[in-house]
Structure 1
Amino acid sequence: MKQQQWQQLCRKKTQFNIKKKFLWRISILRRYVLSVWSQFLACWSGKISGNYRSLPPNSSDTTTTVSSSSSPPPSTAGLISLRLSYGKDSSDLVSLKISLFGDSNIGKTSFLTKYAGIKKRDEENAGMGINRVDKILDVKGARICYSIWDVGGDESSGDQIPIASKDSVAMLFMFDLTSRRTLKSVIRWYQEASKYNQTAVPVFIGTKFDEFMQLPIALQWTIASQARGYAKALNAPLFFSSAKYNINVNKVFKFITSKLFNLNWKLERNLTIGEPIIDF
C-alpha cells in the first residue's frame, strides 16, 4: 500500500513539473509588479510603509526587534515577527516569502536564526506557532527582503500550513539527520504544503549534521540513501546542514537566491558519506 502511494506521488510530481516552472516564473513576476506598484502608491501619497521601522540616518547598526500581537487573528495566532532593519528607507524593498516545515525539535529555528544572525536571547523567544524572520539583502542592485516563516512542528501547527505556504517562492522541508522518523515525516509535510502551493521551489534539508557524524557509518549510509531517494522523487535539492557549526546554512539561501534571480552561481555536489551532502 505504501509502495503504491509512493508511486502515485512520484507520478503526480512528474506531471506538474513543467507546469510548475511556468507558474513559478509568473508568480515571481506578479509579486515583483505588485511590490513595485505598492511602492509607487506609497511614494505618490507621501506615506512611508509601516512594515519596517526606519532608523535614524546616522545609525549603522543592524537592529533586531521581536514583537507579538496580544490578540492576533485566528489565522495567525502565535505569529512572532523578528525583523532586521538596516537604517535605510524601505520603499524600494521587494519582499519574497520563504517557508520552513518539519517536525518539532529538529533544529528549524536554530537553522533560521543562524542565517539571520539573531542573538540567542531572541531565539529563545521564538518556537510557538509561526515564527517569522525578515532579512534584507542586495541582489544585483535591488534590495530584497526574505520574509522567512518557520512553522512549529507540533500537532497544533497543522492549521498554520495554509497561511505559511501561500505565496511562498521557496519551501524548505527539514528533518533531523539522527531521527529517521522525522525523515519519513518530510513526505507528509510536503504533501500538505503542496495542497496550497505548487509553484514554490522545494528544498530538502537534513539538520544536526554534527551529531549525524557520530552515528555508525552503515547507518549514515542508510539514512543518506533514503534522504536522497525522497529528494530525487520530489525533484528537490538536498542539503545536510549544521546550525551549530554553520555548515551549508548560507549555501541553502544562496542556492534559492540563484534560482529566483537566475544568478550564475555554480553549486558543487558532494555525495561523500561522512561529509555534508549536497545533492541536486
Structure 2
Amino acid sequence: MATQKSHDGATGKMAQLCRKILHVNIRWSISQKITVLRQFLCLIWHRILVCSTRYNFRYRRILSPRRNRSTAAGDSGQEDPTTTSSSSGYDSDSDLVSLKISILGDSQIGKTSFLVKYVGDEEEKRSLQMKGLNVMDKTMCIQGARIAFRIWDVAGEKRSFDQVPIACKDAVAILFMFDLTSRCTLTSVVEWYRESRKWNQTAIPILVGTKFDDFVQLPPDIQWTIVTQARAYARGLKATLFFSSAKHNINVNKIFKFIMAKLFNLPWTVDRNLTIGEPIIDF
C-alpha cells in the first residue's frame, strides 16, 4: 500500500514536472517566434531606410559673408537682406537645417513648372524622381543660418494618393495648388486637403493658384467669380491665398519667403492684394 502511494506520488511529481517543462517549451517557442518576427521587421525597416537614403541629396555651399555671393532675388528682382540663395560647390551638411514642404494638386496644373522656377534648372537635374513623387532641394542662408527646403511634389493622379503620407508627414508647410483657368482643380483641393490632414495637422496651409498669365486673359466677370471662389476656399482651409505664374515668376519666390517668415519670425511681411486683374494675395 505504501509502495503504491509512493509510486502515485512520484507519478504526480513527474506529471507536474512534465507540465512545467511543456510550459517552458511553449514560452521558449513563442519567444523564438517573437524574436524571429522582430528580426524580420528590423530587416524590413533597414531595407526601407537603405532605399530611402540611397540617393544622396547634396546641398550647394553657402559662401562666406565676406565673399561675393548671389542673393535670392524676390519677385521684384531686389535683394532680400535676410536670405541668400545657394551657389556652386558643396560643403559639409553638419550645420544645415532641413525643412520639408509638400505640394499637392491635380495633374497638368503647373506644379512642376512652379517648383523648377523656384529651385532652378540645375537642381531639377539632381532631383529624386519616383513613381508619383518628385523631390527637389533648395538651400539658402537666413540670417546666418543654412536652411534647406526639401520640396515633395506629388503627382496629380488620384492613384498618387498613396504617396501623400510620405510626402506630408513632418512637413512644415503644404502648398495646395490649382489651375486658375480650371475651376474643377480648385474643387479638387478639398480632397487633397482632407487626405493630407490625415497625416499632418500642423503644417502651414497655402492655397496657390497657378497660370496667372493665362487667367488675366479671361473676361473680368469670370476673373471676379474665380477670385471670389478661391478666397472662399482659402478661408475654409484657413490658408493664405496666392495667385502665381511660373512662366513670369509671379509670386513664386514670395510664397517661399512667406513660409520662411512664418517659420522663423522674420521681419518680412507680405501686402494683401485683392485687385481684380492683379496677382491676388489674401490672408
TM-score normalised by L of structure 1: 0.69
Coordinate RMSD, CA, aligned: 2.9
Is 1:258 the counterpart of 2:261 in the alignment? yes
1:87 is matched with which residue: 86, 90, 94?
Answer: 90
Q: Which runs of 5+ in 2 are unaligned?
A: 1-54, 71-85
Letter in 2 for 1:100: I
Is 1:229 the counterpart of 2:232 in the alignment? yes
Alignment of 1:1-280 (within 5 A): 51-53=56-58, 86-118=89-121, 122=125, 128-280=131-283
Q: How many angstroms does 1:140 deviate by?
A: 1.7
The answer (yes or no) to whether the contact 1:109–1:123 under 8 Å persists in 2 is no
% identity of equivalent residues = 60
The answer (yes or no) to whether the contact 2:106–2:188 under 8 Å persists in 1 is yes
In the aligned structure 2, how far is the partner of 1:93 from the partner of 1:120?
17
In the aligned structure 2, how far is the partner of 1:226 from the partner of 1:191?
18
In the aligned structure 2, how far is the partner of 1:256 from the partner of 1:53?
22
Q: How many angstroms does 1:92 deviate by?
A: 0.7
In the aligned structure 2, how far is the partner of 1:53 from the partner of 1:120?
10
Q: How many angstroms does 1:86 deviate by?
A: 4.2
Residue deviations 1:138-169 (CA, integer Å, cap 9, x gap): 11211111000000001220100111110000
Count of residue pairs brought into register by the alignment: 210
TM-score normalised by L of structure 2: 0.68
SS at match of 2:250: coil
Q: How many angstroms does 1:55 deviate by?
A: 8.1
SS at match of 1:104: coil
In the aligned structure 2, how far is the partner of 1:192 from the partner of 1:141?
36
The answer (yes or no) to whether the contact 1:109–1:126 under 8 Å persists in 2 is no
The answer (yes or no) to whether the contact 1:239–1:248 under 8 Å persists in 2 is yes
The structure-2 alpha-carbon separation of the partners of 1:119 and 1:92, relative to structure 1 and needing over 3 Å to count, comes to closer
The structure-2 alpha-carbon separation of the partners of 1:242 and 1:127, relative to structure 1 and needing over 3 Å to count, comes to farther
SS at match of 1:90: coil
Q: How many angstroms does 1:53 deviate by?
A: 3.8
Letter in 2 for 1:198: Q
Question: In terms of Rg, which structure is larger?
Answer: 2
